[in-house]
Structure 1
């Protein structure tokens, strides 16, 4: 996918250690002088690893397909242009569940870095990786199912000082007619023990409970404890940040950027058993999905318009 302003390549420096970027065999790996790292598959532009302070922050199924044969179970898959099974009589009706972004081959557009804070004198402390997808790159089936001219740029920024990962999706309408879309960053976060976790920051929010026949409820408690299957779509959230707390200590803060919806999901015992690519079967004990997005209704883009949204996740390790 062409872009007029691609990020500038990393420039060599003798002032101190520099970030490294390595791209081969369908994946891009970036590492900071701190040792923090991120790994992204070109298939789906799916983030499959984010390590800070030597520990993995994401959960990926041991049975996940990383060869481009099917969407990855785990990491951070991109949902676009529809969330869940598409509705009938809509422009996305012919698409598969969660759309085509997570099952398309993206182009790596390049990297850029910045210096700030304590590492400014000794090397770069953040690195941004950009990936692109356009209509021309879709499979023939996807082109027929969604024949609109579009451009996606997905920016993944690894920050060392604050131990952050920022993932932003920019959507542009490059055609001559308007169209609608939904998007979601389907983040699987790793935890040591889900029974010792709480999800904070969703109190008083309205949610649709897919476990209870898509009925609507209001979150009556400030914290959510995962004690069984959870599949909730929280909408119009007033707080900017949702946090995962484990053993009473902050583990991860997920800040929505220009987004007001989030999904909380854990398959628990029976649902995990029914998914062939979910391994180990008791892996539900070590993960929880907190997924930022725009999924309550549809975003409309007129010709030439651009939309952007995403998240900044901070690790407390």
Structure 2
């Protein structure tokens, strides 16, 4: 059994609903199959089984799409999805030399492996608001031969995606199922959709140290209260004291991104040149309608002993 951690994300669960709360369907077949959940009030989420990648999340009765998805995103299992919420595990970025992850591709294998759909559960809170939770699993036995050779360790991942009326919670549980300890990194690479990046600012990072990958991975301190995106941004904010990072657009809150048992956040926008260089990034001006706010544990490594469990995730609140 796993070791209980003091700070585990609290699920959005409640007593089981009695009324019609949600419909859950598996759409398509093979590598392009996805799970689609829709609340009675119209909000919806779509999760591609390839990578367990959330490719759509609609709030406001289903009228507002909150995630940016490239028009050229591969949704057929041929490569990791550009957009939505890819799951990064067990390494973030290019793997370091002389480490157990050294033979893996950038961002690891979770986002390019086919996950199992483990089932659904619906609930209703005291105010009558409904939610639906979708569970997905990825285990050593489900990896490709190449991935198992590159990372020959026994693990289990469980990923829970909970859709509520104005929020989406995504939580990953990592279990060490082998006889030896292992180290890993984990990140949810969330692409948030905005109307105009020039009117966007990000709050909640002031005073935090970050590594700036645009400036040769040099270390800086966030001195401004608001982070504005005016060019390429690729920053790893480390050990953030407060849990919430807020995306503001037109001086109004657009998203709250609330971390649970995760200390780091990556902020990324490729801007003109990087967007143009990515074959699966479309439209090329799409960087003006997106910003990545990516929660994770990527500063150093998480270590799990035999039988231990690590759990971390996020709740994103949409104000539209």
Tell me the CA shift for residue 19 of structure 1: 0.5
CA–CA distance in 2 between the matches of 1:113 and 1:201? 32
| TM-score scaled by length of structure 2 | 0.92
CA–CA distance in 1 between the matches of 2:146 and 2:96? 18
- Which residue in 2 is equivalent to 1:154? 159
- Which residue in 1 is equivalent to 2:5? none
Which of 23, 31, 42 aligns to 2:38? It is 31
- Which residue in 2 is equivalent to 1:137? 142
Q: Deviations over 1:69-126 (max 9, x none)?
A: 0000000000000000000000000000000000000000000011114326xxxx00
Q: Secondary structure in 1 aligned to 2:127? A: helix
- Asked if 1:257 is matched to 2:268, the reply is no
**Unaligned runs of at least 5 residues, structure 1:** 1-11
Q: Secondary structure in 2 aligned to 1:142? A: helix
Which of 130, 133, 140 aligns to 1:128? It is 133
Q: Secondary structure in 2 aligned to 1:118? A: coil
**1:49-198 mapped onto 2 (5 Å cutoff):** 49-53=56-60, 54-119=63-128, 125-160=130-165, 163-198=166-201
Q: Deviations over 1:149-185 (max 9, x none)?
A: 000000000011xx01000000000000010000000
Tell me the CA shift for residue 193 of structure 1: 0.1
CA–CA distance in 2 between the matches of 1:24 and 1:288? 28
Tell me the CA shift for residue 34 of structure 1: 1.3
For the aligned residue pairs, the C-alpha RMSD in angstroms reads 1.3
Q: Secondary structure in 1 aligned to 2:284? A: coil
CA–CA distance in 1 between the matches of 2:70 and 2:312? 26
- Which residue in 1 is equivalent to 2:3? none
- Asked if 1:295 is matched to 2:304, the reply is no
Count of aligned positions: 300
CA–CA distance in 2 between the matches of 1:272 and 1:169? 29
**Unaligned runs of at least 5 residues, structure 2:** 1-15
Q: Secondary structure in 2 aligned to 1:313? A: strand
Tell me the CA shift for residue 16 of structure 1: 4.0
CA–CA distance in 1 between the matches of 2:51 and 2:127? 34
